[in-house]
Amino acid sequence: MKPGIRGFWTADSVRAATSPVAAGGQAPRRAFRNLPAAAGLLFSVLLLAALGAFLSLAVSGIERSDECLHLAQGSWQEVATQGFSAPPASLDSRELPPSWQTAALPLSFHPPVEAPAKPVYLTTWVRLEVNEPQSTTASRALYGVRLKTDGPIAIYVNGKLVYRAQQRGQQWNSLFTPLWVTLEPAVSDAPVREILIRLEHTSTYPVAVSSLWLGPADALRGRYEVRQWLQGGLPAMLNAAFLAVGIFGLFVWFRRRHESSYLLFFNLAAIAFAAHLHYYVDLPIARDWFGWLVVNSLCWGLTAIHFFLRLLHGRPLRWVGRGVVATAVLIGVATMPLPWTLSNSSPMLAAVYALELLMALVVCLVGGISTWRSSPEGRLVVVALAVCLLLGMSDWALHNNVVGPEGWFLGAYTNGVTFIAFSLLMYRRYTGAIEEVERVNAGLAERLQLREAELERSHQRLREIEQRQLLSDERQRLMQDMHDGLGSTLISAIRSVEQGRMRDVEVSQLLKDCMDDLKLAIDSMEPVEADLLLLLATLRFRLEPRMESANVALIWDVQELPALPWLDPSSALNILRIVQESVANTLRHTRATAIRVATAAVDDGVQVIIEDNGQGFDVAAALGRGGGRGLHNQQRRAQVIGGKVAWVSADTGTRFALWLPLRRGDLVEGCRLG
């Protein structure tokens, strides 16, 4: 009789999940409308499992039911005793008092309304006479739905003891475990003529005996195993699953201490697990203490449910909470099996059940009224609580013999109801969380797209600004270079021509030099991708026609060089002018017939070498004060790009070397000539 609904949501999280803004409109509501379908699916799975077990285990017994005897008629008598005692190994029913009363099975006995001052012990005897023909060729068994008593049980077949149970004292084991007795060969070889059942009990306990089946063990085993599984196996599975989820909630609470609903849910699962063990576990616990545990676990569960509902609807309801706690404490103290309590009093137990019923109704009504409009989860909890109360009432009716002993203890399935209710809450929370994550992801994706578009526009504007800046800088460089080089040369030439100081040949040579400068400026704008050889090849294309006209042979002896990452248009123009100046000096002054252009890679840079076979010159004098303006220009341009120039001149020719670093900023001790 354990109603209880589990879940672990705080009121804030529930309101957030059910509000249209937080839940994204009607999507979670549509998901919640699908919860009955999920509940129906889960119930269908359990029903199919039960039917499958029944069909697989009982089909053989159904097919062979004609081989079994259904014992539904007998006689009984009740004898007062001094207490519980061990049954003898053999017993003749004729030794018992001849006060037998005929009755049909199942048989139920109702205790007196007024309990005696002291415990009175009784022994109820039930005798079943078997007159039908029986087959003794197969192993036989005795099967019954239930023998209900709070004392020892003994069964005699043909006067011999074949079964005994609850020998350790007052226990509740026979309530939920069907009777199964396999007859020993010494008994099974002869036809069964008499079955004698001995039930010891207190006078206040409602004793009951179901009808029995006698026949081949294989024919009866299906009935027994189906009853055992549905009454004990399936509830045990549901109970274990519910406790496992409760332990999961406890570990969640360890990480989220501010959410007390997780701890409350674990308490509910632990209470339900402990209170349902008697359905399928043979515990050596005294009946009084075990009864105290069962009776009070209902109060504890109702208390936990009330506080759980408070978390859902968010209303304090302090007076109701105090009343529920006070009732649970009062019942717990009053029902303790101690000498000064009235736990064995029937009026006391009746008052306890009345208080618990009133407590359950108050929790259900108050919780339902408070949560019905504000929380769909609260409605689910209240409905499940009502279902659990109905299941618990069926247990009360069966325990008090209002229903015959062949009925079902449906209270064993209250944990299944709570497990299903919790699964539905988890389903709603899970789907709501997924939808919320999807909405957040969609919003983030949209904002990310907007941000990417904005960044792309910003990058485009930056690229346009950078391009305009590069064009402006390059235009400024070209203008400056043309002004300093080509412009000044043309101005000097114009003045010389106006003053008659230049001959036509000199004017022609000057114009050719200006044209070469213009071509170099244009060539420096071509992309060379940090390749010095490509830059030199461009210069070769420009110089070869001029050298052929001067009858000077060009020996091109270049090798593969590493890339120069710093080689930009400005640096390329300086390199071209340095090399052009060296070639022009050779053509003008040395009377050389051959010029060799070579390249070489050194440890910290590259070299461009220009050699000729003409007349040499005094390098020191040319670099002295007032002379060698072209050489000084070469030095200045080399310094601008971080390089070095050097000359070695003799009567047999001149060797010029330009050293360039692999990286800008390299420290150079000097230019090495090979």
Say how far apart CA 666 and CA 674 lie, in whole Å: 20
Say how far apart CA 361 and CA 385 lie, in whole Å: 10
Taking only the tens place, the pLDDT of each residue in 293-320 is: 777 887 888 888 888 888 877 788 888 8
Taking only the tens place, the pLDDT of each residue in 537-594 is: 877 877 787 788 778 888 888 888 888 888 877 788 788 888 888 888 888 778 888 9
User: Considering only 45-54, 108-117, 206-215, which range has the smallest mean pLDDT?
Assistant: 45-54
Q: Which of 485, 540, 545, 496 is nearest to 518 (CA)?
A: 485
Q: What is the pLDDT of residue 197?
A: 94
Cβ neighbours for 157, distance < 8 A, ≥ 6 positions apart: 142, 183, 187, 192, 194, 195, 196
Q: What is the pLDDT of residue 70?
A: 92
- The answer to whether the Cα torsion of 359, 365, 368, 369 is positive or negative is negative
Considering the four listed CATH numbers 1.25.40, 1.10.10, 2.60.120, 1.20.1250, the one that applies to the domain covering 73-210 is 2.60.120
Taking only Cα atoms into account, the Rg of the chain, rounded to an integer number of angstroms, comes to: 54
Contact yes or no for 156/90 (Cβ under 8 A): yes
Same fold, 11-63+225-438 and 73-210: no
Q: Which of 214, 268, 261, 269 is nearest to 239 (CA)?
A: 269
Say how far apart CA 517 and CA 512 lie, in whole Å: 9
- Kindly tell me if the per-residue pLDDT of 284 is higher than 70: no
User: Considering only 1-15, 117-131, 389-403, 493-507, which range has the smallest mean pLDDT?
Assistant: 1-15
Q: Which of 32, 12, 11, 6 is nearest to 429 (CA)?
A: 32
How does DSSP assign 11-74, residue by residue?
A: HHHHHHHHSTTTTTTTHHHHHHHTHHHHHHHHHHHHHHHHHHHHHHHHHHHHHTGGGSEEE-EE
Say how far apart CA 483 and CA 474 lie, in whole Å: 14
Taking only the tens place, the pLDDT of each residue in 619-659 is: 877 777 555 567 888 888 888 888 889 888 888 888 999 99
CA atoms within 13 A on the CB side of 487: 7
Orientation of helix 234-255 relative to helix 260-275, angle to 10°: 160
Q: What is the pLDDT of residue 63?
A: 43
Please report which confidence band the pLDDT of residue 444 belongs to, taking 50, 70 and 90 as the band edges.
very high
Higher pLDDT residue, 608 or 499?
A: 608
DSSP 589: I
- Kindly tell me if the per-residue pLDDT of 288 is higher than 90: no
Taking only the tens place, the pLDDT of each residue in 40-89 is: 455 545 545 554 554 444 444 444 556 788 999 999 999 998 888 889 99
Please report which confidence band the pLDDT of residue 271 belongs to, taking 50, 70 and 90 as the band edges.
confident
Taking residues 279-287, what's their average pLDDT? 61
What CATH number should be reported for the domain whose range is 530-661? 3.30.565.10
User: Considering only 147-151, 348-352, 377-381, which range has the smallest mean pLDDT?
Assistant: 348-352
Using a 10 angstrom Cβ sphere, with 0-12 exposed, 13-18 middle and 19 or more buried, the burial of residue 559 is exposed
Contact yes or no for 343/285 (Cβ under 8 A): no
Contact yes or no for 28/431 (Cβ under 8 A): yes
Q: Which residues pair with 160 in a beta bridge?
A: 90, 157
Provide the residue ranges of all domains of the chain, joining segments of one domain with +.
11-63+225-438, 73-210, 530-661
Higher pLDDT residue, 379 or 351?
A: 379
Q: What is the pLDDT of residue 579?
A: 86
CA atoms within 13 A on the CB side of 585: 27
Q: What is the pLDDT of residue 71?
A: 92
Taking residues 334-362, what's their average pLDDT? 69
- The answer to whether the Cα torsion of 65, 67, 70, 73 is positive or negative is positive
Q: Across 73-87, 251-265, 482-496, which has the greatest mean pLDDT?
A: 73-87
At the second CATH level, the architecture of 11-63+225-438 is: Up-down Bundle (1.20)
Average pLDDT, the chain: 77
Q: What is the pLDDT of residue 626?
A: 55
Higher pLDDT residue, 500 or 23?
A: 500
Calculate the CA dihedral of residues 223, 226, 232, 233 and round it to 10 degrees: 150
Please report which confidence band the pLDDT of residue 530 belongs to, taking 50, 70 and 90 as the band edges.
low
Q: What is the pLDDT of residue 195?
A: 93
- Kindly tell me if the per-residue pLDDT of 419 is higher than 60: yes
The pTM (predicted TM-score) of the whole model is 0.57
Contact yes or no for 116/203 (Cβ under 8 A): yes
